[in-house]
Structure 1
């Protein structure tokens, strides 16, 4: 079972990031300690990430409760036992129902073993995940961060991270996805911790608790 980095490990990583990048040191100084948001993984974890995309937190929670109640147990077999129309009755869009079936089929047919990703390095794991229809790079990277506790993964396509990076470097516009990945290279091997730091900063600014 994956484990989240300890508070001491997170503190050490933040100190290393602040020492390596004066710009990131400003966000580090402005924010209190945070915990790593580890979530259950496997089929359920990946499917839930698909379900929760592009909807509000409240809507995502409501839909996920309906999915859990409808399936009884969130497994590839239980999902595949339901027709797409039934899955849509749980609150899923047609696209998310199709993507859920694609992930379930990949697992059942042996094209992917979500429980064995830990044996792959980050890049290889991203390639395996994105080979599944409906699983993009952002989904793969956030799955590895939040469901496997990987500390050097950076989802450069995340718009909140891009906004925080623009504040960080005094840019007039958000960096492109490619530019965000390049910028984050300086934060290895703590890119996932840097992402958590930037997300925390973004949230604090939006709540009026910190300055951009």
Structure 2
């Protein structure tokens, strides 16, 4: 499944911003895969923190080969050392175990997160061990496909803004200016990045 956006959204952005229109014309449509399974998305994001995309993919592939479909019950029944043997750090394995246990025990409701506002979802997800605000924002963008997410903490987004708008630095005030300018379609700025 790919992130859902089309000509209407692209034309809106092109009409609002000449510089962004040039980039859109040059890059074209981006097919960005999404994982709409919130549990596996959280696990996948925890695994991928501070490692290369290739390393993340390798660990994820090993996990899927070992366990089949990654579910809370399957991961809760594994032990942390077993998860670590797939190539992740022991700390990440503990975070994933803790998360799966909270889901299985009912302490954390995946279904409830789907019904929360963006801010509430970020707060709930970032309350989990191993999930910070940036990771929570990436989860609600790339799993839940919420359209009003553009993270100031995302250095790739800041670098892209510097390149498109020719700034040396993007501070919070400037970032918010561009974010407001493209409100409700800001997610398109993030779909080409690695999560």
TM-score range relative to shorter protein: 0.7 to 0.9
Offset at 1:182?
A: 4.9
Which range moves more in the overlay, 33-42 or 133-142?
A: 33-42
Residue 102 of structure 1 corresponds to 98
Residue 142 of structure 1 corresponds to 138
The answer as to whether partners of 1:152 and 1:193 remain within 8 angstroms in 2 is: no
**Residue 76 to residue 182, structure 1, CA distance change in 2 (3 Å):** farther
Q: CA RMSD in A?
A: 2.5
The answer as to whether partners of 2:13 and 2:21 remain within 8 angstroms in 1 is: yes
The answer as to whether partners of 1:157 and 1:177 remain within 8 angstroms in 2 is: no
Residue deviations 1:98-128 (CA, integer Å, cap 9, x gap)? 2112221221232322234332221121111
**Residue 93 to residue 78, structure 1, CA distance change in 2 (3 Å):** same
Q: Which of 1, 9, 12 is 2:8 aligned to?
A: 12
Does residue 35 of structure 1 match 2:31? yes
In structure 2, C-alpha distance between the alignment counterparts of 1:73 and 1:37, rounded to whole Å: 17
TM-score (norm 2): 0.86
Structure 1 counterpart SS, 2:168? coil
Residue deviations 1:127-175 (CA, integer Å, cap 9, x gap)? 11111121111211111121122222112211111101111221123x2
Runs of 4+ in 1 over 6 A off after TM superposition: none
In structure 2, C-alpha distance between the alignment counterparts of 1:182 and 1:105, rounded to whole Å: 41
Aligned length: 194
Q: Which of 105, 110, 113 is 1:114 aligned to?
A: 110
Gaps of 5+ in 2: none
In structure 2, C-alpha distance between the alignment counterparts of 1:148 and 1:28, rounded to whole Å: 24
**Residue 105 to residue 194, structure 1, CA distance change in 2 (3 Å):** same
Which range moves more in the overlay, 26-35 or 156-165?
A: 26-35
